[in-house]
Structure 1
């Protein structure tokens, strides 16, 4: 452990969550991840009135601000050029929302599946071809992110080997692409598919780790429970975090927003965050 100050917890919230927890967010100028702008319906409707109301709710907020990018219905490694064009358009729409909301980070989903963990290396050049398809999808998206000072962080979903995602992010050769960790996804993959434990994901990413979704699970499903309700070994995660200096955003991403302060209080009692 180091003598650095304890990290400050943030939260993933939509407008309703911001209304409920605004005082907690502003109390320590906590990082926020805005989660109202990732669905096709939200992006194709006029999202600006909602975004304007969200900005008003964040008046006085000086913490870091991010956005969960689009992900429903697609992967970033599609074989189909027409699908890649749709994915590209959706992610560019997400970056447009980021610019409007003053967000300088956007979460996107990793393409690596459980199937990939068993099969990528059974086919000649399959791993390289996956990376190439991601590059084709993200080339314009990365350029846009660079131009507006926004960082894309690639979140593990089914990933079994965290090094795959770290290598993918590095292959894009841009300061605007880094790594995200979802603790619940990692623990599910550890228990159910033989992936390494959560702290190994931190060690694999090192200084490329810029964002973390904090959520607890039982190892069977993607619960998004408050920390303390599942079986993640939180001290090992924070011990690993104490050895890196990238200052990742620690975002409580909980299904029941009413348990946000419960989860934060649990981590405070452990003495690992505040």
Structure 2
């Protein structure tokens, strides 16, 4: 399993080679780039080329990209809508798929293997119509990503749409044998427990988001700073035969300096993947 980290930890900063260097110093073998325009502007050829040049010059694998969650440069704080491919309004769904496609196009310069997709927003509910929208979105995005060598991973987020049984239903009905799951340990800890969620999704898990919380809110803490039982959680995750990477996804609001991030990530890798 690859030791990986998400650039989410630097989300308030413009992503640049210096920050990537610090992640590499942590011992990370792979990186997930978080697509947010104020951080990594996937619509800017200059910015994409800058990051692509870094990967070409380093041995760290560009493992995945996290699909954008917002259209704007401030994560929706000014009132811009969220990216939501399962939204009830057709225009919102189309606009959202187009935005994600812009992020997938990064693979023309950076050889990404996966894109992590959210189906809906926090607290979105499950219904036959939601199922239909999810199927349409995944089919459309899969067709766009495939020629670029990118595969889709659906993340279990904090809503009904991505509860384990609903992810399984989406994959089964859509015959999406080539679409996997990015198992988010923090979200699983809040919504049923890591063991239970991993157990249900095990055969589909290709990647994982590793972070901690206290079982009540989505804090994205360093492993060990919350209440996840990590030896048990990692043993369960590692029994997932298709799992390729453990991706640390730590909250930017902790505002750790780059060197502190490198040190904490190195410690986390030693603890989780000795």
Q: TM-score range by the shorter chain?
A: 0.7 to 0.9
Match of 1:144 in 2: 144
Instruction: Tell me if the contact between 1:154 and 1:178 (Cα under 8 Å) persists in the aligned partners.
Output: yes
Match of 2:88 in 1: 79
Match of 1:10 in 2: 4
Taking a change above 3 Å as real, the CA distance of residues 100 and 64 of structure 1, as seen in their structure-2 partners, is closer
Shift of 1:265: 1.6
Instruction: Tell me if the contact between 1:226 and 1:260 (Cα under 8 Å) persists in the aligned partners.
Output: no
Shift of 1:223: 1.6
Shift of 1:250: 0.7
Taking a change above 3 Å as real, the CA distance of residues 229 and 263 of structure 1, as seen in their structure-2 partners, is farther
Taking a change above 3 Å as real, the CA distance of residues 46 and 85 of structure 1, as seen in their structure-2 partners, is closer
The number of equivalent residue pairs is: 246
Match of 2:49 among 37, 49, 52: 52
Match of 1:19 among 9, 21, 31: 21
Taking a change above 3 Å as real, the CA distance of residues 46 and 94 of structure 1, as seen in their structure-2 partners, is closer
Q: What is the 5 A alignment of 1:200-211? A: 200-211=196-207
Shift of 1:17: 2.8
Instruction: Tell me if the contact between 2:26 and 2:266 (Cα under 8 Å) persists in the aligned partners.
Output: no
Shift of 1:55: 1.9
Match of 1:90 in 2: 99
User: Is 1:157 equivalent to 2:153 in the alignment?
Assistant: no
Match of 2:30 in 1: 31
Instruction: Tell me if the contact between 1:145 and 1:176 (Cα under 8 Å) persists in the aligned partners.
Output: no
Taking a change above 3 Å as real, the CA distance of residues 53 and 207 of structure 1, as seen in their structure-2 partners, is same
* TM-score, normalization by structure 2: 0.79
Match of 1:250 among 231, 236, 246: 246
Taking a change above 3 Å as real, the CA distance of residues 261 and 199 of structure 1, as seen in their structure-2 partners, is farther
Instruction: Tell me if the contact between 2:112 and 2:149 (Cα under 8 Å) persists in the aligned partners.
Output: no
Match of 1:4 in 2: none
CA distance in 1, matches of 2:94, 2:121: 20
Q: Which moved more, 1:69-78 or 1:12-21?
A: 12-21
Instruction: Tell me if the contact between 1:170 and 1:178 (Cα under 8 Å) persists in the aligned partners.
Output: no
* Unaligned residue ranges in structure 2 (runs of 5+): 8-14, 71-81
Secondary structure, aligned partner of 1:222: coil
Match of 2:79 in 1: none
Instruction: Tell me if the contact between 1:227 and 1:263 (Cα under 8 Å) persists in the aligned partners.
Output: no
- CA deviation digits over 1:162-214, x for unaligned, max 9? 22223323433234421111112222x3xxxxx31012221111121011111
Secondary structure, aligned partner of 1:168: helix
